[in-house]
Structure 1
Amino acid sequence: MRKILVLLILNCGVYFAHAQPKTPAQLYGELFNAVQMQKIYPDGKTFPDASPRRAPEKIMKDYMAQKDKPDFNLDAFVKQNFNAPATNSTPFKSDVNAGIRKHIDTLWTVLQRVADTVKGTSLIPLPHSYVVPGGRFREVYYWDSYFTMLGLAQSHRYKVVEDEVKNFAYLIDTYGHIPNGNRTYYLSRSQPPFFALMVELLAKIKDQKALVTYQPELLKEYQYFMHGGDALKPGNATEHIVRLDDGSLLNRYYDASDQPREESYREDVLESKKSEQKPADLYRNMRAAAESGWDFSSRWLADGKNLYTIQTTNLVPVDLNCLMYHLETVIAKSYQLKGNKKSAALYMAKAYKRKAALNKYCWDNTTNCYVDYNWKRKAQSPLINISTTFPLYFAMADMDQALKVTALVNNKFLQAGGVSTTLLKTGQQWDRPNGWAPLQYITIMGLKNYHQDSLANVIALRWIKVNTTGFKQTGKLLEKYDLESHGAIAGGGEYPLQDGFGWTNGVLLKLMNDYGVEGEKR
């Protein structure tokens, strides 16, 4: 497919990016809708990932000619014209007796990919190798990759770490941002901006020049998330930017599309029928939650329980703004390394302003934690969640705040297997009783930044135990874990529990090394 070079002029600079290639819904239109709504495949992600057996135009011509005939069979038509992806992209059986470290080391190779694509598929080719999460997740994912890279670095697979950074830089240069994943249907959104942390990790492996080498891409990612901010009036939002009443600029999660997610098309359409929101508003809120990585959680729900009340774009999230603060400081450091003191000071000033705004709008003196801010209601969210530890991870809290967050984590979030994501049980996968590797890591390291080592150690060792116990029982490392019921399998969400699993492997290996846990053989 021909891609047109487009000049994008942003508020913070100018750069080039390719126009977005067509997604499966755009290629197959009415056929795509029929396949997804009639649930030809149990998993809504299967058809968007399928490979056409011939040119999409020819498939559509035949479909339009046949679809209204009395004997037309949609299931048969789809299977004649498409190859579904393998149900398990990591057909790997672990040798539990060899131990968990051997399992992780072997999985790095099993999960590694060199991007290739059949014409007409949704996969976006990448120039370098990358590691996929596993299971139904057959492509690279943005924020997953940072936590995977922590483990790759521990395994001394430094070339793969650098390849991942190069791939993400390529995506920024090509599309103006890092998409949720390297699929065409993910191009309308990004994910939590961890690219600056990836570059810092590479700088530690190689040298600080990496911060200078990737400065252009760091700036472009910043421009993507800040686009439209300069012209924005107080009390308004556009794309990823909210200007609050005092003139402060903070970020929100956002997706450029207001259509159903292609990978969860039927689920979104059915949810829209329950909602008082306009379908386009609900779809954008669902997509914005997908950009957050927390898809889905009571955190985003107006009533705290029903998905059709989702209001992601109304919220200024703690985690996103901490990541943007960090991005600003890394850009400042990259300018310092180049000897450009003026630009370094400019970005540090932006970071200081963001830190002040975050503390003003998101610190809650009643609950003694950081909470998301509802910019439309001009009120803090009543729903607390573990993102309250992100300001500790990025050293944005003062000592008094850190001690209060520590007490809250210990009293409210600490469970038998680690820290829970929220305090509510809704059936959504980013709520209790589930625990997730990236949030364990952020919490542990955030606590250690403020010398709260005792609680950090408890969380780390409990998480390691949940992982290692599960491995001994199943021979697998999983996407998420039930932290509250011994031996229970995590659930919730739109798809079955997945194994592999990139970020679980990475965080576990890093913590085992940090805490001197061997992960003994059986």
Structure 2
Amino acid sequence: MRSQHLLIIKMMLLTCLLFISSRLFAQNELSPRQTYPDLFEKVQMARIYPDSKSFADAIPKKSPSEIMKAYNDLKSKPNYDLKAFVNEYFTMPESHHAAYQSDIGAGIKKHLDTLWTVLKRNPDTASIYQTSLLPLPKPYIVPGGRFREIYYWDSYFTMLGLQKAGKTETIKDMVDNFAFLINKYGFIPNGNRTYYLTRSQPPFFAAMVQLLAQHHKDVKLADYKDVLEKEYQFWMKGVSQLGNGKAINHVVKLPDGTILNRYYDAGDQPREESYREDFEAAKLTKQAPSTFLRNVRAAAESGWDFSSRWFADGKSYNQIMTIDLLPVDLNTLLYNLEMTIATANNEAGNKTKAILFTQKARLRKTAILKYFWNKKQGFFTDYNWKNRSSSNQLTLAAAFPLYFKLATPVQAKAVEEKLARNFLKTGGLITTLTTTKEQWDAPNAWAPLQYISIVGLRNYGYNKLADTISTRWINLNISVFKETGKMMEKYNVVQPNSKGGGGEYPLQDGFGWTNGVLLKLMEK
């Protein structure tokens, strides 16, 4: 009788869990533009909100069908007020940490420790009505400011700080969330929003799993073998169909049969989170609108949105050509993914697959050293597969082959010399040698690229330059914090008293990856 009673309780608990799970993940995955046709475009083009992302993240007060019926009934009436309609039927998102006030006097370490709580989000539950948020089953850390969701490549650098802060379980939660996204969608989207489901971001998942396995006693690489392989399939989709000199999705097959990868986006319409900006920009280019917008979206997938790195003339946004370029950092990250899959399969006892992926990694390494080493510049640069030439844009992406220990000693020395001579400024390393209004150009600097460069230099014994960069970056972060009480998304390293600028939105504070990198660099 007692065992029967326990069985009933277990069945009831299972039913409850299934109900909760269905509530969490029942929401459909239509983007706001798909959910609210015509209304979405009208709101974005009217610029009711200065930031296009606001309406893309809006929370409806009624069901989409009710909202669309009301809109279609009212829109042709003479006294129709679009802004009043939006305010009646939607709640605008707020920054979760808008009310947080930092205590400068308590010091930067206390501030960083407090921010983990401020930037942490609990597991999501589906909204009563459809929103653009893709629910995640475990807690996670957001970057901050307008970025109210998790972001793919940001999270690796955030995890570095979590590890330093002893928050290994939070790292595991975030890795498991990314594994959930891979299993559900076949890849990790740019962020957990429906409008990000057409693209990914720099593939740091393998590096995250490596970090977790290194610091969590109960985790092995083999535990994530299957999801690592699924992510790899996403980046290599269509490769079997390719002829020499052709491209499909993220894959390019060069005339000699070499396989390398590019950034790409399945969409060719204005980004919903930057709808008006993209719509207007498409009028100013000679490219076909669909080609231009795919290039814009592919640059967003790169994380470097935007940079002279992607521009045909090295300065003009309307000449963006992202999909024509094979990026050195992307291919280095995919080398690391291949090596991690090989190691995970070796751990799992699958020697055949381990050998296969080791061979894939070796082929990619050979290709990286052949196509991305620019002998003329003495630096790693991107490769234009369309015109079969090396890019002349010098950027901090060159540090990735050092970070993943792919560069030869001679190449590493040349990179070190150029970083010291051309990139090093008062507050750290500039992103590129080109000064533009774009945020991923000089005079701006970003935490992840400082970290990649510092570790890359240390890997080859260039500790003096690495220490100089680290010290200057730490001092800049502390100086800005003492002045503002904030950690910034990006910094001006040429004139440290000026804010980082450029981009499609105001300078954001928070800030996940800045906090993570600073904590990691202050470790010594």
TM-score, length-scaled by structure 2 = 0.93
Q: Does 1:241 align with 2:265?
A: no
Alignment of 1:89-488 (within 5 A): 89-114=97-122, 115-118=124-127, 119-207=129-217, 209-488=219-498
Q: Does 1:65 align with 2:63?
A: no
Structure 1 or 2: larger helix share?
A: 2
Match of 2:30 among 19, 22, 28: 22
Q: Does 1:79 align with 2:73?
A: no
CA shift for structure 1 position 343:
1.3
Please state whether the residue corresponding to 2:235 is helix, strand or coil. Answer: helix
CA shift for structure 1 position 87:
4.8
Residues 180/20 of structure 1: CA separation in 2 closer, same or farther (3 Å cut)? farther
Q: Letter of the aligned partner of 1:465 in structure 2?
A: N
CA shift for structure 1 position 219:
0.2
Q: Letter of the aligned partner of 1:193 in structure 2?
A: P
Residues 239/391 of structure 1: CA separation in 2 closer, same or farther (3 Å cut)? same
Q: Is the 8 A contact 1:20 1:187 kept in 2?
A: no
Aligned residue in 2 for 1:5: none
Q: Is the 8 A contact 1:90 1:134 kept in 2?
A: no
CA shift for structure 1 position 234:
0.9
CA shift for structure 1 position 231:
1.7
Separation in structure 2 between the aligned mates of residue 268 and residue 61 of structure 1, nearest angstrom? 28
Alignment of 1:22-61 (within 5 A): 22-61=30-69
Please state whether the residue corresponding to 2:284 is helix, strand or coil. Answer: coil
- Counting aligned pairs with the same residue, the percent is 54
Separation in structure 2 between the aligned mates of residue 412 and residue 65 of structure 1, nearest angstrom? 61
CA shift for structure 1 position 306:
1.6
Separation in structure 1 between the aligned mates of residue 27 and residue 334 of structure 2, nearest angstrom? 26
CA shift for structure 1 position 116:
3.3
Please state whether the residue corresponding to 1:250 is helix, strand or coil. Answer: strand
Please state whether the residue corresponding to 1:242 is helix, strand or coil. Answer: strand
Separation in structure 2 between the aligned mates of residue 339 and residue 63 of structure 1, nearest angstrom? 59
CA shift for structure 1 position 88:
5.8
Q: Is the 8 A contact 1:132 1:502 kept in 2?
A: yes
Separation in structure 2 between the aligned mates of residue 289 and residue 19 of structure 1, nearest angstrom? 29
Larger deviation, residues 160-169 vs 109-118: 109-118
Deviations 1:247-275 (A, max 9, x none): 01101001111111000000001000001
Separation in structure 1 between the aligned mates of residue 402 and residue 108 of structure 2, nearest angstrom? 30
Q: Letter of the aligned partner of 1:111 in structure 2?
A: L
Please state whether the residue corresponding to 2:260 is helix, strand or coil. Answer: strand
Q: Is the 8 A contact 1:18 1:175 kept in 2?
A: no
Q: Letter of the aligned partner of 1:402 in structure 2?
A: A
CA shift for structure 1 position 206:
1.6
Please state whether the residue corresponding to 1:305 is helix, strand or coil. Answer: coil
Please state whether the residue corresponding to 1:29 is helix, strand or coil. Answer: coil
Q: Is the 8 A contact 1:368 1:401 kept in 2?
A: yes
Separation in structure 2 between the aligned mates of residue 24 and residue 251 of structure 1, nearest angstrom? 30
Q: Letter of the aligned partner of 2:344 in structure 1?
A: S
Deviations 1:165-201 (A, max 9, x none): 0000000000000000000000110000000011011
CA shift for structure 1 position 120:
1.0
Separation in structure 2 between the aligned mates of residue 396 and residue 221 of structure 1, nearest angstrom? 22
Separation in structure 2 between the aligned mates of residue 340 and residue 264 of structure 1, nearest angstrom? 45
Q: Letter of the aligned partner of 2:51 in structure 1?
A: D
Separation in structure 2 between the aligned mates of residue 441 and residue 282 of structure 1, nearest angstrom? 32
Q: Is the 8 A contact 2:295 2:322 kept in 1?
A: yes
Q: Does 1:505 align with 2:515?
A: yes
Q: Letter of the aligned partner of 1:490 in structure 2?
A: G
Q: Is the 8 A contact 1:89 1:138 kept in 2?
A: no
Separation in structure 2 between the aligned mates of residue 208 and residue 341 of structure 1, nearest angstrom? 23
Q: Letter of the aligned partner of 1:48 in structure 2?
A: A
Residues 81/20 of structure 1: CA separation in 2 closer, same or farther (3 Å cut)? closer
Separation in structure 1 between the aligned mates of residue 186 and residue 214 of structure 2, nearest angstrom? 26
Q: Is the 8 A contact 2:95 2:148 kept in 1?
A: no
CA shift for structure 1 position 90:
4.0
Residues 401/208 of structure 1: CA separation in 2 closer, same or farther (3 Å cut)? farther
Q: Is the 8 A contact 2:27 2:126 kept in 1?
A: no
Please state whether the residue corresponding to 1:349 is helix, strand or coil. Answer: helix
Q: Is the 8 A contact 1:90 1:111 kept in 2?
A: no
Please, which runs of 5 or more residues in structure 2 have no aligned partner? 1-24
Aligned length: 498
- Which structure is larger by alpha-carbon Rg, 1 or 2? 2
Separation in structure 2 between the aligned mates of residue 92 and residue 234 of structure 1, nearest angstrom? 55
Q: Letter of the aligned partner of 1:51 in structure 2?
A: I
Please state whether the residue corresponding to 1:26 is helix, strand or coil. Answer: helix
Residues 305/18 of structure 1: CA separation in 2 closer, same or farther (3 Å cut)? farther
Q: Letter of the aligned partner of 2:404 in structure 1?
A: F
CA shift for structure 1 position 70:
1.6
Residues 372/157 of structure 1: CA separation in 2 closer, same or farther (3 Å cut)? same
Separation in structure 1 between the aligned mates of residue 261 and residue 208 of structure 2, nearest angstrom? 21
Separation in structure 2 between the aligned mates of residue 385 and residue 283 of structure 1, nearest angstrom? 23
Aligned residue in 2 for 1:8: none
